[in-house]
Copies of this chain bind each other. A is one copy, B any other.
C-alpha cells in the first residue's frame, strides 16, 4: 500500500464506503444535494476562523528540537577539527576537512568530488546557474548571457523555486511530464538534441511534490544522455537523500555520478544536497558534488565570491552526528514525527476524496510532500476556498513552469509543519473545498 506512484482513484472506490458513489456516476440532483451539504460544512469551518499554513515544506517545531543538542557541540576551546584546521578563521573554500569526510562517507564520494557550502543548497544552485550565465559553465564555454533563446527542462509537477531561478535568468521553461518512475525520458532524450537546451531540474528521490524516486532505468538513461550543448548539466537536487518515512521499505536510487562516469559522461551531473531538513532549515550545511573537472572550475570561480563558508557550523554537524550511522539514527527520529502526519493526510484523502473519484495522489515513502490531482480545473478553486477559510496551501500551479498548471489539477500538500491535530483540521477543510470545487464543476 505504500507504492510511490499515482494510484488511480478507481482503486479507492472499492475500499471506500460502498454507499459512496463516484461523482461521475451521480445525477445532477445528487451532485447539487452533496454540494449544498458541503457548502454548509464549509460555512461551519469558516466560522472557526482557522489560521493554518500547509504551504511549504517547513519542518515542525518538534523536528527542530531533535537537533538542538547540536547547538552546544562546538564550544570554547573546541574549535579545531581533526585535521588541525581552525574552524573559526578564514579559509577552506570547499569546506572544513573533517566535515567533508563525513559527507564523503554519506555520499560515497572522494574529497575531490565534494564542496561544502553555506546554509542554503538553493543558493548553491542559483550561484551555479548565475556563474554559467556570467562566465560560462565550463572552461571555454560561452557565458549564457551571450547566447539567445536558451531553454531549460522542467519535469512537472516540480519545485517552484527551481523553475523560478531559470525563469529569472530568461530561460524558456520546457515542461516535461513526470511519470511513475521519473521524468518522461523519451521526451528528455529528444529535447536535449537542441543545443539551446542547457539543463534539466531533477529531484530524483522522494521528488517534490510527487514523492517519486527515479527508477534505475531512468537514472541510466540520464547518464547516457548525449546533449547537443556541451554545457548542458543535470541539476540533480538530492534534497531528500536520507529523508525516509519508514525504517524499512526505503527508496534507494542509483548514484548518478557513478552512472555518468560509466557512460563516459562524468561532467553531466551537478548534485546538490543539504542538511536543511536534517538539522535546521536556516542553519544547515549545503553540498555540491560533481566531477573533479567541474569542481576545479567552480572553485576557481568561487574564489571571487567568498573566502569560505561557515566552518564552525560544519564542525557542529560533525560533532553532533559523529558518523553516517548517526545521521541515519537521527533521520529515523525525524521519520517518527513525520509519519503520523503523512498518514493523517492520506487517511482523509482515502476517506473523503478517493471514494468520490475526484482525487489521484501519491503515497510517498519519504520526502516532504503529497501531490494531489483533482479533476481538471479544480485546483485553483480549491486553494482559493481553503484560503478564504484560513488554510494556506501551496498556490495552485506553483508546481509547474511559470506557475501555470495547464490542467489546473495539481495541489502540493505539505504536512510537516502543523501539529497533527491542526493538520487534521486543515485536511478536513481541504477535502470539503475539493469536493465543492469538483461538484461545482460537475453541475455546471
A145's contact among B64, B75, B145, by CB below 8 Å, is which? B145
Chain B contacts for A305, CB-based, 8 A: 122-123, 126-127
A76's contact among B69, B91, B135, B311, by CB below 8 Å, is which? B69
Name the interface residues of A118-137: CB closer than 8 Å to any CB of B.
118-120, 122-123, 126-127, 130, 133-135
- Chain A 268-311, CB-CB to B under 8 Å as 1, else 0, gives 00000000100011110000000000000000000011111111
A169 within 8 A of B: yes
Judge whether B307 and A122 touch: CB under 8 Å: yes
Chain B contacts for A133, CB-based, 8 A: 134, 145
Chain B contacts for A134, CB-based, 8 A: 130, 133-134, 145, 169
A145 to B169, CA, bound (A): 12
- Please give me the residue from chain B that is nearest to A281 by CB atom: B90
Judge whether A280 and B312 touch: CB under 8 Å: yes
Chain B contacts for A92, CB-based, 8 A: 282
A133 to B89, CA, bound (A): 31
The distance from the CB of A419 to the nearest CB of chain B, in whole angstroms, is 14
The distance from the CB of A276 to the nearest CB of chain B, in whole angstroms, is 8
* Interface range on chain A (Cβ under 8 Å from partner): 35 or more
Segment of A19-27, A30-38, A55-63 engaged in the interface with chain B:
A55-63
The distance from the CB of A46 to the nearest CB of chain B, in whole angstroms, is 27
A69 to B79, CA, bound (A): 12
Number of copies: 2
A77 within 8 A of B: yes
The distance from the CB of A109 to the nearest CB of chain B, in whole angstroms, is 23
A83 within 8 A of B: no
Asked if A72 meets B76 with Cβ closer than 8 Å, knowing A88-B282, A134-B130, A307-B122, the reply is yes
A313 within 8 A of B: yes
- Chain A 64-103, CB-CB to B under 8 Å as 1, else 0, gives 1101110110111101000000111111100000000000
A254 within 8 A of B: no
Asked if A282 meets B90 with Cβ closer than 8 Å, knowing A68-B79, A118-B310, A304-B168, the reply is yes
Judge whether A59 and B281 touch: CB under 8 Å: no
A367 to B281, CA, bound (A): 35
A52 within 8 A of B: no
A168 to B122, CA, bound (A): 23
Judge whether A56 and B90 touch: CB under 8 Å: yes
A147 to B281, CA, bound (A): 39
A→B interface (CB under 8 Å): 56, 58-59, 61, 64-65, 67-69, 71-72, 74-77, 79, 86-92, 118-120, 122-123, 126-127, 130, 133-135, 143, 145-146, 161, 164-165, 168-169, 276, 280-283, 304-313
